[in-house]
Amino acid sequence: MNIALLGYGNMGKEIERLAAEKNIVVKKIFTIENNLRAMAINKETLKDVDVCIDFSVPTAVVENIKAVSSFGKNIVVGTTGWYDKMKDVEKIVEKNKIGFLYSPNFSLGMNIFFQILYSTSHIFDKFDCYDPAIHETHHRNKVDSPSGTALTLGQIVLSQIRRKNKMYQETAHKQLKSDELHISSTRVGNVVGQHHVLFDSEADSIELIHTAKNRAGFAMGALIAAQFLKGKKGIYTMKDVITSF
Ligand SMILES: NC(=O)c1ccc[n+]([C@@H]2O[C@H](COP(=O)([O-])OP(=O)(O)OC[C@H]3O[C@@H](n4cnc5c(N)ncnc54)[C@H](OP(=O)(O)O)[C@@H]3O)[C@@H](O)[C@H]2O)c1
Whole-number Å distance, alpha carbon 124 to ligand 1 midpoint, is 36
| Mean pLDDT score of the chain | 96
What is the 3-state secondary structure of 108-129? HHHHHHHHHHHHHHHHHCCCCC
Q: Is the C-beta atom of 57 inside 6 A of ligand 1? A: yes
pTM, to two decimals: 0.89
d(CA 157, CA 167): 10
Q: Is the C-beta atom of 146 inside 6 A of ligand 1? A: no
Q: Do 44 and 63 fall into the same domain?
A: yes
Q: Do 26 and 38 fall into the same domain?
A: yes
Whole-number Å distance, alpha carbon 96 to ligand 1 midpoint, is 25
Q: Please state, in angstroms and as integers, the Cα–Cα distance from residue 222 to each residue in 22, 59, 79, 194, following that order.
A: 11, 20, 11, 19
Q: Do 120 and 173 fall into the same domain?
A: yes
Q: Is the C-beta atom of 9 inside 6 A of ligand 1? A: yes
Q: Is the C-beta atom of 55 inside 6 A of ligand 1? A: yes
Q: What is the pLDDT of residues 127-171, one digit of tens each?
A: 999 999 999 999 999 988 999 999 999 999 999 999 999 999 988
- 78 CA: nearest ligand 1 atom: 1
The boundaries of the domain holding residue 77 are 2-106+215-243
Q: Is the C-beta atom of 152 inside 6 A of ligand 1? A: no
**What pLDDT is stored for residue 174 in this prediction?**
92
- 12 CA: nearest ligand 1 atom: 16
Q: Do 121 and 146 fall into the same domain?
A: yes
Q: Do 125 and 189 fall into the same domain?
A: yes
The DSSP bridge pattern shows strands 194-200 and 131-138 to be antiparallel
| Helix boundaries (H) for 72-206 | 86-96, 108-124, 148-160
The 3-state DSSP class for residue 103 equals coil
CATH number where 100 lies: 3.40.50.720
Q: Residue 27: CB partners within 8 Å, gap ≥ 6? A: 2, 3, 4, 48, 49
pLDDT band at 245 (very low <50, low <70, confident <90, very high): confident
Q: What is the pLDDT of residues 198-241, one digit of tens each?
A: 999 999 999 999 999 999 999 999 999 999 999 999 999 999 99
**What pLDDT is stored for residue 121 in this prediction?**
98
Q: Is the C-beta atom of 218 inside 6 A of ligand 1? A: yes
Query: Mind telling me the catalytic residues?
Result: 138, 142
Q: Residue 41: CB partners within 8 Å, gap ≥ 6? A: 6, 30, 35, 64, 67, 68, 71
Ligand 1 binding pocket mutation candidate from 29, 56, 76, 153 (most atoms within 8 A of CB)? 56
Report how many domains make up the chain.
2
- Answer whether 63's CB lies under 8 Å from 38's CB: yes
- Answer whether 14's CB lies under 8 Å from 216's CB: yes
Q: Do 92 and 32 fall into the same domain?
A: yes
Q: What is the pLDDT of residues 147-158, one digit of tens each?
A: 999 999 999 999
Q: Do 80 and 91 fall into the same domain?
A: yes
Whole-number Å distance, alpha carbon 55 to ligand 1 midpoint, is 5
Q: Do 60 and 26 fall into the same domain?
A: yes
CATH number where 121 lies: 3.30.360.10
Q: Do 102 and 114 fall into the same domain?
A: no
